[in-house]
Structure 1
């Protein structure tokens, strides 16, 4: 209505102005100029211009040629160019532009335009350049764009376009020179009509979900004018066909991040103009074709993360233009050829994680432009060529080899340039060169797991930029320098497994950025400094196997971010800090001390405090009694002693009683709740069924967020469920699998319970659209909804592998269990999805009901969180009913949800996540009822951990698993299920911890 009124107003204004000019004799004003003014004013009326960039656009002007961002043809005086890039404009690209009949260039990139691509744009017949990139456009690519026969440059990249590329899109694009559809959500194959774009020079379809076999003999490979081809980060599969020779003018070929397999085509070497070649992160096999040595102009060459085999190519030195060479993570064998030194332009060299042997060739010193060298994870031996440390390298990674000898001292060029040095896991000897203190820009230093023998170098305190210092498992001695934290940049300090002596310096408290401090397996003495309590970011503290004494400072309990502590096998005594993680430490983190006071330890409890004054409990009895007169028998004393239990025993018994009472109360509530919910559901179903029989249902509205026709009116509200099959149910309703539209698209449809609670369709539409914007690889995408007064359906993606609950508890004996790799993928993906909900929305979206039945799995076992934010849709429902539905998820619900006085926040989801990962590892339900007892999973795992038998609870159907990953995941689950919400980590911290756990062993810090 607003748009129609505004359009009428503009039309009337224009007619009035034109009539006035005619009456005044101004007939020389061309009519077509007013058409351009009218079109641009109507276009502007649909926009939001927060910075008022378009203030100069006025309907009072005879021509728009003087307006900002507008260009006109000097001959015709008509608008030829509209360029509004990067002005922060928002709104929809609406009507008006079709009136610009002479428009050649329309560029609206880097703004915030939303909605679908306007069907009016193809009406601009002479348009040559259309740039709508870097916006928030959604829906499908209009088929009508194919009618723009004059188009030469088309860029729709960096939007949210979805669906397949229209088959006939390229039918009439004979003049097209460049097209980019990159960074969208497009799916399906590449249309065969692409072969008709005979003038195409650049094609970028990267970062989508496109798939299919790349046998494009009649398509891509027939485009002889193609210079740039980017199909990276899609789901293409199969071999790359022969025929690349036809594209002999190709300069850039990027196929990385797909599922290509087989051998590389031999004729690839016959593309003489190739400059950039990236086949990384695929599944290519075999040896490299020798014809590749003919690519004399290739400067970027990456084959990393494939399955290539055979000896490293001896001819690599003939590719004289190489600047970037990455063959990492393959199966190459043999020695490095001396010819590497012929690559005078080489800047980046990564050959890590292969199977190469022999010495590092001295000829590499001739690569004077080299800034990064990574040979990690091979079997190289011999010494490090000293000349390498004379180059201006920024990163050196020679870790996980068999290199011997000493560390070269380095030169002035290296002192200024080096940022990262990793020589860990070798056989290096000697000391740490004093010259290292001159590496002024060094940020990462890892010399761990060598045989370095020297005093701890005081020069290490000179580093001003160092964030990671790892010297573990060497033979260093001496004390820790007091100035080691003078830079205030250190994040990780690992000095384990040396022979360090002396005390931990108080200056350690100056490491304000430190989040990992590990000093275990040394000979450190003295007290644990109170200054550690100043390290507010500290997450991990390892001090085990030293000679530390005294009490643990109570101030350490104030470290809210602390997730793991180990102080075992020292000489510590006294009380543990009364707050923080110290109340959740297991026995393995405390044992081996002289007298720490903990119910987990059997040894004596020693307190470094004076004995308190003890009053005689009988001092105020009858003065004539025997007790008061000192006639007290030893038997009576024993009897009085037997009447009292220790404080720890009372606490343990009280906790057990509270748990049993809680379980019984929740069970009784569930019985009552089920009866009430059954009544509510029956009433609602009867209401809907009676309405259906009477035929009085109102017309329904189908809204699809990613469809160009976003609103369809249909008269049968059950139409979407006609051929649907029920596949599950949950707190908020029943889930069906259905085919949507004529294309046979499979979707999941959730029929919401209590649909009559939400009376206002606008409220429902607003809330569902908020959920639809929650786009993340680990969130179930809400595609739209169907709405009637009696029926409300949510439409989302369908996941073929069902729910995590069915994989853990509903599989048949013949179905293999989940592998550890898939379980860890599910845990990490779920954590990332929750972190997105908590971080990317204000207020944050809280799930409230996270459990395995709400974790759905796609064809690759990637998790998709469902039902997030649905509690917002039922806010008017009776609170007791909502509470009862959550109580039906016994074991997953955070304890604070039962207490109305506590503020419910993201920590509730973290509790449910902790229970879920315990369930992932153990294969057991969170609460199991036996004949004589109730087993609560988190408590069961905690007890086994304290007993040192925690691996006994791992799911027995999972035959193989890495203990060094399973154990910290179990401990993380226990931390997440802490009864105190503030003791649980945030979801971003959980993601970080899981990523550290999955880090390859040479780079991993021991998290727990």
Structure 2
């Protein structure tokens, strides 16, 4: 690095001499670019084409020139992974119009001279690691600049008043930094400005008057700051405004009357503030609105009839306010409306039938005071996918007409006052994934037709008055992962067909009147996390299996007939009468029954019980098994020895030649070089070199002859691996996947009986070890955890961009390098199997409980990248809390997602964070990350974000505070 700095200093010192002497043909552009290159690090060699011996830079990577003058006019190096500081070499590019260096790793402070370039029109330094304050006079040098973006950096301090000097500025983006202080009124002097984004900072104080001077403004976002006071009265005078977002601040008061002028505005978000008063009638004059989000405020009163004028409205969010009155009929006239959320208000009255006929896809009305029956009209083309009417006072029957809602995926009618039976028509909802009618007064039996709901993943019928037996047809709900029938009056046995539900994770049958024994087949359920059968009349022993051997006593309590070690009650044995054998009797003389003949009682008797005979037979079987296993082990060792010998001695293995030798196998290293192992192939199979084991096989560390350490994965799924051609094609595809947050696949070895994958060696150990096995003194800090989460998200986004699904997200598959950077391994290996059998994957690969998406074991649901998103969400919560996805407590099984969700709802976030952080984490980052993790673990795949969206969200969440940056971030 020292020599690099000296080179830069030397180049800077001779530039004037070279330019004046004419001793070289290098022009200012070449000199400037070479000086710039000398001051940066280029790990991917993206700037390899930049050569000082080339007098024409117009063909260099990222460089564009004017066709006539041949001078450099554009430098676009976005996403080149460059690092270092922005040197003065850029100032030599006097004809530069566009400078775009976004998505790199540039650090240091802003150069005060960047805007001195007279021709510069666009400056984009977003998504880097720039820090410090905006230097004095930075904006004062604006000449003809039109676009400036410094978003997603760590720039702090105040926005300088001279920002008003950039009179030609059209777009200014300073979002996702750590800017503080008040918003300078001079910013409203930028009357050419069309887009202003200052979101995700720590700006305070009131929004100054004067925004009306920005008559060209189309978009303004002040979201996620700490702004107070009211919206300026002249806000509505920006009549060309299309998007206004001031959500998540501390603004209050009424909405300014001038906003009625914003007839072209399409997006308005005032969410999560303290605005109050009634929703004004003039809101209907904003007839260009497509999204209206006023959620999380203190609005009250009824809804104005003028809402019917919003003919373009698609999304309406008015939840978490104090609106009253009935369901506004004016919404029926909003022909474009799709998403309606009026949850958690004080709305009353009946539910009008037009709600089901208006083309809505999502209706959320939970937590209000609606009453009366739920009347669903005859429909043929219902578009409703999500219907939540929970937490109201709806009464009457569970509507049989629910089958008319053919597109329904989520139905929540919990904690209302519904009565009568569950209609058989529920089975006609082929797309239904979540059914929650808990906490009502439903009676009768569970309909047999429920087994027809093949997509159902969550069924909650608890806290009702259901009777009769649990139908065996429930075993046909092949996607079911969550089943709660607790606190009813169900009788009869637990159906054996429950064992067909291989995706089951949580079962609760507690507080019923179930009887009989527990089916032994339930021991084979691979993903069972909780099985509560307490307070019933069950009897007999528990099934023998890994889950039931560790089931908490609280899950089986108050079943007097149950026996076994869990309930500390021995199961009664059967003592049969002894069998008397006469050794002197002839087996052929059966007619006189010599064994029981009185004449034989004088001979010596052998008295054996049935249990003794079984023991003798078992001993014989065990002895035979020992002999068989010994022979097999000798064969395996011989085979392994032969393989190792072949590996160690064969030239075919140790060379880079792709030629295949039947005895030695085929080794390919993607980067070339000498791949021979310094310790011989025995190191690959040496137990002492083993790093760990996973669903695909064991991993060993070894050293190549060039001294470089690598990790070798010895696959143990050889019987499932594809043919050699298919195997090599898929492995070579994975070998081309390159990302800083992915463990690089460097080569492979193939024989029909042995396959090895050669990876880069990552020295820092697994994330699992750092979270669960390290001492408190070595715990990960908040910033390290945040960076790890972001690194994992970026790696998955990259994989999904390449159409690769990981399938096996868990903390033991995330490694940390020497600098603490996260590297995800084991990606894409499922494609090595001949067919994507999700049952094979769920039992062999995704063995860690808690990470697997609910839809994974459902044959009728397509496996997509959203399965990775679910596993990522669980991993996020694991990183934040330091707890495993499933925790076995003394009397219960606790699911991490449920525990964190409950803590968030009750305002106890700090309690569930990893105690080793000692409270050193910023809640303004922590809470959004927790919410993101919970959203990623949504039961409905379509509700989970894409990983690319997750990356963007995480980068927006970064700590915005200036004073706490050093302490927390």
1:341 aligns with 2:332: yes
What is the CA–CA distance in structure 2 between the aligned matches of 1:234 and 1:261, rounded to whole Å? 14
CA contact (8 A) 1:339 1:363 kept: no
CA contact (8 A) 1:478 1:502 kept: yes
CA contact (8 A) 2:153 2:176 kept: yes
Cα deviation for residue 70 of structure 1 reads 1.8
CA contact (8 A) 1:533 1:559 kept: no
Cα deviation for residue 246 of structure 1 reads 2.6
After superposition, residues 801-820 of structure 1 pair within 5 angstroms as: none
After superposition, residues 513-912 of structure 1 pair within 5 angstroms as: 513-534=503-524, 537-553=527-543, 555=545, 565-577=554-566, 596-597=567-568, 605-609=569-573, 773-774=783-784
Q: Match for residue 374 of structure 2?
A: 384
Q: Match for residue 109 of structure 2?
A: 116
> Alignment partner of 1:325: what SS?
strand
Could you give the per-residue CA deviations for residues 214-235 of structure 1, whole angstroms, max 9, x where no partner exists?
A: 2x114x3432222111111111
The 1:971/1:198 distance shift into structure 2, 3 A limit, reads: closer
What is the CA–CA distance in structure 2 between the aligned matches of 1:100 and 1:377, rounded to whole Å? 62
The 1:315/1:424 distance shift into structure 2, 3 A limit, reads: same
1:447 aligns with 2:437: yes
Cα deviation for residue 335 of structure 1 reads 1.5
Q: Match for residue 697 of structure 1?
A: none
> Alignment partner of 1:308: what SS?
strand
1:217 aligns with 2:209: yes
What is the CA–CA distance in structure 2 between the aligned matches of 1:16 and 1:224, rounded to whole Å? 50
From 464, 468, 475, the counterpart of 2:465 = 475
Q: Match for residue 191 of structure 1?
A: 184
> Alignment partner of 1:68: what SS?
coil
CA contact (8 A) 2:8 2:39 kept: no
| TM-score of the aligned structures, taking structure 1 as reference length | 0.56
Q: Match for residue 458 of structure 1?
A: 448
RMSD: 4.8
CA contact (8 A) 1:493 1:518 kept: yes
> Alignment partner of 1:274: what SS?
coil
Q: Match for residue 404 of structure 1?
A: 395
Greater relative contact order, per chain length (Cα 8 Å cut-off, separation 6+): 2
Q: Match for residue 880 of structure 1?
A: none
Could you give the per-residue CA deviations for residues 293-342 of structure 1, whole angstroms, max 9, x where no partner exists?
A: 21111111111111111122232212222111111111111112322211
Cα deviation for residue 44 of structure 1 reads 2.8
What is the CA–CA distance in structure 2 between the aligned matches of 1:908 and 1:156, rounded to whole Å? 29
After superposition, residues 72-151 of structure 1 pair within 5 angstroms as: 72-119=65-112, 121-146=114-139, 147-151=141-145
What is the CA–CA distance in structure 1 between the aligned matches of 2:526 and 2:355, rounded to whole Å? 45
1:155 aligns with 2:144: no
What is the CA–CA distance in structure 2 between the aligned matches of 1:969 and 1:289, rounded to whole Å? 36
Cα deviation for residue 148 of structure 1 reads 3.1
What is the CA–CA distance in structure 2 between the aligned matches of 1:532 and 1:842, rounded to whole Å? 42
Cα deviation for residue 129 of structure 1 reads 0.9
The 1:94/1:967 distance shift into structure 2, 3 A limit, reads: closer
From 259, 282, 292, the counterpart of 1:301 = 292
Could you give the per-residue CA deviations for residues 822-873 of structure 1, whole angstroms, max 9, x where no partner exists?
A: xxxxxxxxxxxxx99999966899xxxxxxxxxxxxxxxxxxxxxxxxxxxx
CA contact (8 A) 1:337 1:361 kept: no
The 1:611/1:11 distance shift into structure 2, 3 A limit, reads: farther
Cα deviation for residue 177 of structure 1 reads 0.9
The 1:339/1:547 distance shift into structure 2, 3 A limit, reads: same
Could you give the per-residue CA deviations for residues 669-693 of structure 1, whole angstroms, max 9, x where no partner exists?
A: xxxxxxxxxxxxxxxxxxxxxxxxx
> Alignment partner of 2:204: what SS?
strand
CA contact (8 A) 2:539 2:563 kept: no
Cα deviation for residue 281 of structure 1 reads 0.9
Cα deviation for residue 197 of structure 1 reads 1.5
The 1:387/1:203 distance shift into structure 2, 3 A limit, reads: farther
Q: Match for residue 482 of structure 2?
A: 492
The 1:538/1:337 distance shift into structure 2, 3 A limit, reads: same
Count of residues in correspondence between the two structures: 635
Structure 2 unaligned regions, length at least 5: 577-776, 790-809, 821-877, 893-901, 917-925, 939-969
CA contact (8 A) 2:357 2:382 kept: no
Cα deviation for residue 528 of structure 1 reads 3.4
> Alignment partner of 1:459: what SS?
helix
What is the CA–CA distance in structure 1 between the aligned matches of 2:331 and 2:57, rounded to whole Å? 61
Q: Match for residue 615 of structure 1?
A: none
What is the CA–CA distance in structure 2 between the aligned matches of 1:257 and 1:391, rounded to whole Å? 35
Decide which moves more: 347-356 or 36-45: 36-45
What is the CA–CA distance in structure 1 between the aligned matches of 2:911 and 2:194, rounded to whole Å? 55
Cα deviation for residue 559 of structure 1 reads 7.3
CA contact (8 A) 2:534 2:554 kept: no
Could you give the per-residue CA deviations for residues 847-905 of structure 1, whole angstroms, max 9, x where no partner exists?
A: xxxxxxxxxxxxxxxxxxxxxxxxxxxxxxxxxxxxxxxxxxxxxxxxxxxxxxxxxxx
Q: Match for residue 796 of structure 2?
A: none
The 1:4/1:839 distance shift into structure 2, 3 A limit, reads: closer
1:291 aligns with 2:259: no
CA contact (8 A) 2:112 2:136 kept: no
Cα deviation for residue 377 of structure 1 reads 1.3
> Alignment partner of 1:39: what SS?
helix
Q: Match for residue 414 of structure 2?
A: 424
Q: Match for residue 947 of structure 2?
A: none
CA contact (8 A) 1:285 1:309 kept: yes
CA contact (8 A) 2:272 2:297 kept: yes
CA contact (8 A) 2:116 2:143 kept: no
Q: Match for residue 173 of structure 2?
A: 180
The 1:136/1:492 distance shift into structure 2, 3 A limit, reads: farther
Cα deviation for residue 153 of structure 1 reads 0.9
> Alignment partner of 2:180: what SS?
strand
CA contact (8 A) 1:552 1:576 kept: no
CA contact (8 A) 1:554 1:576 kept: no
What is the CA–CA distance in structure 2 between the aligned matches of 1:347 and 1:486, rounded to whole Å? 33
The 1:773/1:441 distance shift into structure 2, 3 A limit, reads: same
Cα deviation for residue 59 of structure 1 reads 2.2
The 1:563/1:521 distance shift into structure 2, 3 A limit, reads: closer
CA contact (8 A) 1:261 1:282 kept: yes
Could you give the per-residue CA deviations for residues 181-227 of structure 1, whole angstroms, max 9, x where no partner exists?
A: 1122222211232122221111111122221122x114x34322221
Q: Match for residue 223 of structure 2?
A: 232
Q: Match for residue 667 of structure 1?
A: none
| TM-score of the aligned structures, taking structure 2 as reference length | 0.58
Q: Match for residue 256 of structure 1?
A: 247
CA contact (8 A) 2:402 2:426 kept: no
What is the CA–CA distance in structure 1 between the aligned matches of 2:308 and 2:932, rounded to whole Å? 42
The 1:356/1:43 distance shift into structure 2, 3 A limit, reads: same
> Alignment partner of 1:122: what SS?
helix
Cα deviation for residue 411 of structure 1 reads 8.4
CA contact (8 A) 2:194 2:216 kept: yes
What is the CA–CA distance in structure 2 between the aligned matches of 1:513 and 1:237, rounded to whole Å? 50
Q: Match for residue 321 of structure 2?
A: 330
Structure 1 unaligned regions, length at least 5: 578-595, 598-604, 613-766, 780-834, 846-905, 913-937, 947-961, 978-986, 1000-1008
After superposition, residues 9-28 of structure 1 pair within 5 angstroms as: none
